[in-house]
Structure 1
Amino acid sequence: MLFWYVRHPEYPAFRKALLEGYTAQVETPTRALDALDTLILARATTYLGWAADRPGDETSEFLEAEVLPVVVELARSYLDRSGADAAAPDADAALLERRGATIGPYSPLFYNRPLHFVSGDGVWLTDVHGERYLDAYNNVPSVGHANPRVADAISAQLHKLNVHTRYLSEPIVDYAEALLGTFGETLDRVYFTNSGSESNELALRIARHRTGATGILVTDFSYHGNTISLAQLTTGLEVSEPFGEHVRTLHVPDLDTPTAGDDETLLAEALAGADTAIAELQAAGHGVCALLIDSSFSTEGLPRLPEGYLEGLVARVRAAGGLIIADEVQAGLGRLGDDWWGHDAVGITPDFATLGKPLGNGFPIGGVVTTAELLESFSPSNMYFNTFAGTPAAAAAGHSTLLEVEERGLVGKAGDLGRYVGDRLGDLASRHDRVLASKGRGLFFGLSLVDAEGRPDGALAKEVVESLVRERILISKIGPFDSVLKIRPPLVIERPELDTVIDALDRALTTSAAAGGR
């Protein structure tokens, strides 16, 4: 690469092709790729030093004409970039100030030093300073950042036509047929929305209309959206709305909790809690309208459920006249591996599957998948119309994303990679005292961290997250104590990139001032 540098007009393409070929054959750490320009400069100056030690050599003319300008250009570029990096905090501070003056200071940002990204490619994000980050966190770009197929499909449709659904439109019907084909036979109708919040709101409306009840069951640390009615049943983050009198909470049992006891006792206690919550709703005159759960229980910290819990919970809700809403915003579209949807992965059949984030690879689209019976019971007396939901452009985004997942075999691949990750995380957990357990399945996984006394340790989790950011790897944390590392990459991630993440976790846990190892 040294002699191609800058002076060849096709250098960027040569460099990209060479690196893609090399990294496809040789496992290459991110930090090695990040050091490439520094290494090229070092090699060039070494070469000049070697040549300078041989005066009169026949290559001196070549060195003066070709190599010296390359080294000068390399050095200038390197120094310019270093200067830009030094100025970066001031530039980002200015942008942060502008953001606060317009959006306000309360819209949250990740990490101690907010990141400023300008482009993406697959599982990689590039910031304004040219640094590349491995994205092991975001499930919105399910088939990769800037996926060409999805971007081209949206662009082509926008250049052609984009109207709402009160006109006949083939793209939305094509997409609806393809989407419903990933569900079981009973879930055979779909309402389109713009987000997971809209999807959960609509599912609750339909459930209330069908049952005549208002009582809702949620877990005691959950989040399902930001409308008023959803804020009233939010338990997983701070909201100003009062908690709904028509809502009761359920504690989700986790076999990994140190004080959990045996499986049978934990199961019995959890189901007894469900019986109590249902009885309270009925006694208060609310009845039981619906159970609303995230199929992966992500906000709750990816608990390991005792066998029979979900089946018992669903049976109790149905016996009380309630319906089941499976929130698939986190778990859906193959995230948990082997099955398209989280409710299939955990073995329940809901009355509604509510969809959002991953459907359009970044384009806002959501949906409520339900039964023909429930659609027919609601629609005649409730005209549902949503201007931007199900437009041809939204359909193009959703359908192209679905086809990418299907044709690239990403659902099965998520299962295979998840089993590999599970083995590696199990090994990591066995070597670190502060790792209570590995969590999750498929491409939604993490580590539950504890302090020296075995209590959930959110401070350590934050330290590990920040450590990985310094290595340019993005993860986050979840759970009631923010003590579970949250790793949820785009579905197109490959095994070497997962190894990069896990190796970085190992280093962070080893070097943490508090972590220790064994």
Structure 2
Amino acid sequence: MTKAFTPGASEPMVNGFDTSRIDELPPRTRGQVEARDRLLGPGYRLFYEDPVEIVRGAGTLLFDADGNDYLDVYNNVASVGHCHPFVVDAIHRQLSTLNTNTRYIQQSILTYSEQFLATMPAEIGHVMFTCTGSEANDLAMRVARYHTGNQGVIVTAGAYHGLTSDVSAFSPSLGVGVPLGPHVRTISAPDRLRHGGNDAVIATMQREIRAAIADLERHGFGVAAFIADMIFSSDGIYADPAGFLQPVIEEVHNAGGLFIADEVQPGFGRTGRNWWGFQRHDLVPDIVTTGKPMGNGIPIAAAAFRPELLVEFGRNIRYFNTFGGNSVSIAAAQAVLDVITGDELMANADRVGRYIQAEIDSMAGRYEQVAEVRGAGLFVGVDIVTDRESATPDGDAALRVVNHMRRRRVLISASGPRGSVLKVRPPLPFSMADADRLLENLAVVLAEELH
């Protein structure tokens, strides 16, 4: 039976520092926050009620100015670990040799592109490089519109796809301050807890995608693309049921639109077993976008395409990105790919992720406010609610847990409706010992924060 709460119906709680509390901070921290406000302006945000000053990183740990270590259970940017020596060395060697753009012939970008595309289905044959995931999604949508001749975009109700002007217009998780474009329609996330099971998820999404397509066509936009994060990170982290997207994609293709798989967060082995989140669902996207973890902190991202999509676009549209695919960023990306493969990090993500999810699930039975533990590999969500019967998201309780964990020097975050889903997303080398540190602290925090 469908629960009463409607996902995406309200503004999310924010894991961040409230600047009205600045006088409560220690003198050094207060001075730094004041300098940030003066120099960077109000658009920037800090994580946590008590901001953390980070001066060094190594592997799965971050260190503050006093030498205290923090277990990083959130940062997928440093996907193979902070300051990985192999990646650092590759960047240093390339920066000491050459750094230029893609207008020159360079073997490194060809070698990397061949290996990168080899992780994809055979139907995906071209890759274009950008600096950020936002840029990659911007480019993907530009190609989709050019190829289809349509403008309409369909996303899930809590999606986040980036910060460019165009992409933010189809990123509803940014809130009411960033309104959706008139050409954008939303459908529900695959929330089996609130929809009432796997079959209900599939039926609901299929019904809503048909309605979204019909409405876009009625308003003259047509359908350019359905774009989805392949673990629905901002919606609340949904990995199952496997295959639930098949009927959605069929409806989009029948309407002349494309399917864009946003792999910025779940990609590069994070979900375990597979390189890409879409592979868990036996899908072949038309376009795949990647970003954050690709260069382990060095800005590089990409959009990969079915070659037929770029024939007319490449002939008629001049696309160039000065820093996209530059020599140093490619060296970083190559090193990341080598480390993921050489250190068997996908297998590690699967093994350690299963352990974390099982142990949290075991804890959850003791708490009325933990409704569900879900995810894949090293991407786990813990759904915090007011009570299991109503399954009403409780963002206040989730943020209490997040901030209490921070005080114990374990860094996690939250996502989903009202910020009510604990977001566990550590670097890929996260070990069993790291997992035990996470779990030991979480057990204490849940006992103190939840009833």
Q: Same fold (TM over 0.5)?
A: yes
Does the CA-based 8 Å contact 2:352-2:430 persist in structure 1?
A: no
2:290 pairs with 1:355: yes
The 5-angstrom pairing of residues 139-218 of structure 1 reads: 139-218=76-155
Q: Which has the higher helix share?
A: 1
1:278 aligned partner = 213
Aligned to 1:269: 204
Residue 305 of structure 1 and its aligned partner are, at CA, apart by 4.3
Query: Which of 153, 160, 168 pairs up with 1:223?
Result: 160
- Aligned letter for 1:473? V
Structure 2 gap segments, 5+ residues each: 1-24
The amino acid across from 1:451 in the alignment is: T
Counterpart residue number, 1:341: 276
Q: Deviations over 1:428-449 (max 9, x none)?
A: 1122221101021100002111
CA shift, 1:264, in A, is 3.0
Query: CA separation of 1:175/1:377 partners in 2, compared to 1, >3 Å: closer, same or farther?
Result: same
How many angstroms apart in 1 are the aligned matches of 2:422 and 2:414?
A: 4
How much does 1:283 deviate? 1.2
Matched to 1:495, the amino acid is: M
**Displacement of 1:349:** 1.1
> Taking every aligned residue pair, what percent have the same amino acid on both sides?
40
Which of 308, 314, 318 pairs up with 1:373? 308
1:302 to 218, 237, 245: 237
**SS of match in other structure, 2:160:** coil
SS of 1:183's equivalent? coil
Query: Given that residues 339 and 412 in structure 1 are in contact (C-alpha distance below 8 angstroms), is that contact kept between their aligned partners in structure 2?
Result: no
Q: What is the identity, as a one-letter code, of the residue corresponding to 1:346?
A: H
Partner of 2:38: 101
Amino acid at match of 2:300: I
Q: Could you list the runs of 5+ residues in structure 1 that have no partner in the other structure?
A: 1-87
Instruction: Tell me the SS of whatever aligns to 1:433.
Output: coil
Q: Classify the secondary structure of the residue corresponding to 1:438.
A: strand
- Mapped contact 1:211–1:322 kept (Cα < 8 A): yes
In structure 2, distance between residues paired with 1:138 and 1:351? 28
Query: Which protein is bigger by CA-based radius of gyration?
Result: 1
Identify if the C-alpha distance between structure 1 residues 231 and 262 changes in structure 2 by more than 3 Å, giving closer, same or farther. Answer: closer
Deviations 1:468-511 (A, max 9, x none): 11110000000011110001000011011111112211111111
Give the alignment partner of residue 129 of structure 1, picking from 66, 86, 91: 66
* CA displacement at 1:307 relative to structure 2: 5.6
Match for residue 441 of structure 2 among 496, 504, 511? 504
How far 1:267 sits from its partner (Å)?
A: 2.7
Does the Cα contact within 8 Å between 2:244 and 2:281 map onto a contact in 1? no
Tell me how far apart the structure 1 counterparts of residues 243 and 96 of structure 2 sit (CA, whole Å). 51
d(CA) in 1 for partners of 2:38, 2:348: 44
How far the C-alpha of 1:262 sits from its partner, in A, is 4.6
CA distance in 2, matches of 1:175, 1:194: 16
Cα offsets for 1:10-47 (capped at 9, x unmatched): xxxxxxxxxxxxxxxxxxxxxxxxxxxxxxxxxxxxxx
Separation of aligned partners in 2, 1:263 and 1:328: 23
1:475-490 aligned within 5 A: 475-490=412-427
Of residues 442, 453, 461 in structure 1, which corresponds to 2:398? 461
Greater RCO structure (CA 8 Å; 6+ sep): 2
